[in-house]
Amino acid sequence: MKSLTNVFLGILSIGVCSQAAAVQKGGDGNAIPYPLEEWKGVQGKTLAESKPDFIGQPKAPKNAPNVLVIMLDDAGYSNATSYGGVMHTPTFDRIGDEGIRYTHMSVAAVSSPTRGSLLTGYNIHQIGTGIISEFATGYPGYNSQIDYTTPSIAKILTDNGYATAAFGKWHNTPMEEASPAGPFESWPTGIWGFEYFWGFMGGETNQFHPLLYENTTAIETPKTNADGS
C-alpha cells in the first residue's frame, strides 16, 4: 500500500480499505456526475483514414492516496491521543499527522446509525438507520434500508477507480436479510457499494469462534483454537 498521505478518519467498528487508483477519466473527480469523456478518434471515409479511440478505465493520478476508515465501538472522541486524549495511540497519531483530521462528525449513541451516516454523509433518518438493525421497523427512517440512489464512500471510490473492501463488524443490514440465504441487496457488497467484504453481519459474534462471511458466503471457522483448546 502507498503511504496514507491525505485521509484519516476514526470513529466506530468496521474497517474500510481502498487501494489507490483514481480520478474518473474525463473529469478531475471534484464533481459528480462525471462528464462523459470526449471521443478523440477520427472518422474518415475509409478505414485507412480513420483512427479509433477507446474510452479506458479510470487511472490513478500520481501519488493518489489510499483511503482508510477505522470505526471503533465504545470509544469516545477524547479517548485517543490523536485528539488530545490520554490513551496512547501512536499509529492513529501518525496517520492523523500525515492526513486530514475531521472534527465535526455528528454521531448517534449506537453503532448502526453512526456507521450508516459516516459511510453516506446523510442524516441517519434519511437512510433508514434511526436505530440498530435488530430493531428495524416498517416505518420511514427506521427500516434499516437504503436505496440504490443513496451515495456512499464505497460507491464514490469505486467510480474513481479504487478497489474497495469492508472488514469486521457490519451491523447495517436488516437482520431478516442477514442470513446465508440472503437476500443480499442490503449487504456490504450490494447497495452499499463495496467490492469485497470479510467480517460478521450482526452487532456481535463469538470472540473465539465468530460467524464470518466472505462477501456473501459463510466461512467455516476452526472448531478449536490455535493451541488446540
In a domain, 34, yes or no: no
- Residue 74 near residue 87 (C-beta atoms within 8 A): no
Model pLDDT for residues 66-124, shown as the tens digit of each residue? 888 888 887 877 888 988 889 999 998 998 888 888 778 878 888 899 999 999 999 99
In a domain, 183, yes or no: yes
- Residue 131 near residue 112 (C-beta atoms within 8 A): yes
CATH assignment of the domain containing 128: 3.40.720.10
In a domain, 129, yes or no: yes
The residue range of the domain holding 137 is 1-28+56-229
CA distance 28 to 20: 15
CA distance 73 to 133: 15
In a domain, 190, yes or no: yes
Which pLDDT does position 201 carry in this prediction? 94
In a domain, 42, yes or no: no
In a domain, 76, yes or no: yes
In a domain, 40, yes or no: no
In a domain, 221, yes or no: yes
Model pLDDT for residues 22-80, shown as the tens digit of each residue? 344 445 555 555 667 788 899 999 999 999 998 877 766 777 788 888 888 878 778 88
CA distance 99 to 96: 5
CA distance 141 to 182: 22
What is the tally of structural domains in the chain? 1
